[in-house]
Amino acid sequence: MAWLLIVLSIFLCWLASLCKIYHASYSSSRTTFLTESKHKRNILLVIAHPDDESMFFSPTISYLTSNGHNLYVLCISTGNADGMGNTRNEELYQACAVLKVPLHQIKVLDNPELQDGFRKVWDHGLLAKIIEEEVASKTIDSILTFDSYGISGHCNHKDVHHGVRRLLNVSQRKIEAWELVSTNLLRKYSGPVDIWFSIMYAMCCPSGQVHCLLTDDPSKSFQAMVQHMSQWVWFRKLFVSFSSCTYVNTLKRIT
C-alpha cells in the first residue's frame, strides 16, 4: 500500500508539473530573459558536440527562436570519438531544423586540437580565440554555454565554459554571457518536477541574474534527438525522458 501511495504521488507531481509547463506556454506572464528592449539579439550558443543542443538546451533554443532572436550555433567538435564525425555533423543540421534554427547559422568545427573525447584536453586560449572570431563576424550580443560542471561533467563541456570565460576576461568587447546551471543528481533526473526547484532558485537570486526558461513543448527535445540516430540508444532515450533539461533550463549570468 505504501508503494502504491509513493507511485501515485510521483505520478501526480509529474502531471502537475506538465500542466504548469503547458499553462506557462499559453500565459502572458513569461520570463523577461533578453526582452528588456525591443531590440532582437544576435546570440551565440557554444556547445561541444552534436546533440548537446537537443539534450541540454532545447527549452532555451525554443524560447529564443519563438521570440525572434537570431540564434547562431557554434559546435566545437564533430563528435568523432567513435569515428562517426561526418554522420553526427549531418545529424546536428537535421536536429537544428527541427528546433527552427536556420541552417546557415550553424557552424561545426573539426580542429585537430579540439577533438571529442573524455581524455582530450582543449586549450582554453584557442577556444577563446575561435569564439571571439565568431562573435566578431556575427556581431554577437550574447553568448550561451555550459557552466563549469557542464551538466553531465564531460570534460569537453567544462573546457567550452572555460574558453568562454577566457574570452570574457581578455576581450575588449562588451559581451553578455550566460551559463546553463547544473543540478544535483536527484534534480537532474526528476523530469518536469524540477521546474518547481528551478523557479524557486531563480526567485531567490538577485533580479536579472538568473532566468528560468520552461519549454513550450517537451516533445521538441525528443523530435530533435531522434535526428541524432547514431546516438539515439536506449540510455539516451531514458535520459531525454527523465532529464530536467528536457523541461526547463536555468540560465545564470556569467560575471
Which pLDDT belongs to residue 150? 97
The answer to whether residue 9 sits within a structural domain is no
Nearest to 77, CA basis, from 113, 42, 116: 116
Give the amino acid at 157.
H
The answer to whether residue 28 sits within a structural domain is no
The answer to whether residue 234 sits within a structural domain is yes
- Which DSSP category does 118 fall into? T
Which pLDDT belongs to residue 207? 86
- Which DSSP category does 225 fall into? H
Number of domains in the chain: 1
Report how far residue 225's alpha carbon sits from residue 238's, in angstroms, rounded to the nearest whole number.
12
The answer to whether residue 186 sits within a structural domain is yes
The answer to whether residue 199 sits within a structural domain is yes
Report how far residue 102's alpha carbon sits from residue 157's, in angstroms, rounded to the nearest whole number.
24
Which pLDDT belongs to residue 27? 45
pTM above 0.85? yes
The answer to whether residue 125 sits within a structural domain is yes
Per the structure, the complete domain to which residue 68 belongs is given by: 38-253
Stretch (H or E) spanning 121: none
Per-residue pLDDT of the chain (255 residues; tens, 9 = 90+): 666 666 566 656 766 676 777 666 544 445 778 877 668 899 999 999 999 999 999 999 999 999 999 999 999 999 998 899 999 999 999 999 999 999 999 999 999 999 998 888 999 999 999 999 999 999 999 999 999 999 999 999 999 999 999 999 998 888 899 999 999 999 999 999 999 999 999 999 998 899 999 998 889 999 999 999 999 999 999 999 999 999 999 999 998
The answer to whether residue 60 sits within a structural domain is yes
Q: Which residues pair with 73 in a beta bridge?
A: 45, 106
Distances, alpha carbon 105 to alpha carbons 37, 75, 137, 225, 227, in Å: 23, 11, 12, 19, 18
Half-sphere exposure in the Cβ direction for 246 (13 Å, CA): 24
Distances, alpha carbon 124 to alpha carbons 88, 113, 128, 215, in Å: 24, 11, 6, 31
* Residue 64 CB neighbour total at 10 angstroms: 25
The answer to whether residue 6 sits within a structural domain is no
Which pLDDT belongs to residue 1? 65
Q: Pull the grid cell for residue 241.
A: 525522458
Which pLDDT belongs to residue 216? 87
Which pLDDT belongs to residue 16? 67
CB 181 within 8 A of CB 149: no
Instruction: Assign residue 113 the CATH number of its domain.
Output: 3.40.50.10320
Half-sphere exposure in the Cβ direction for 23 (13 Å, CA): 7
Which pLDDT belongs to residue 236? 94
Which pLDDT belongs to residue 255? 86
Q: Is 180 helix (H, G, I), strand (E, B) or coil?
A: strand
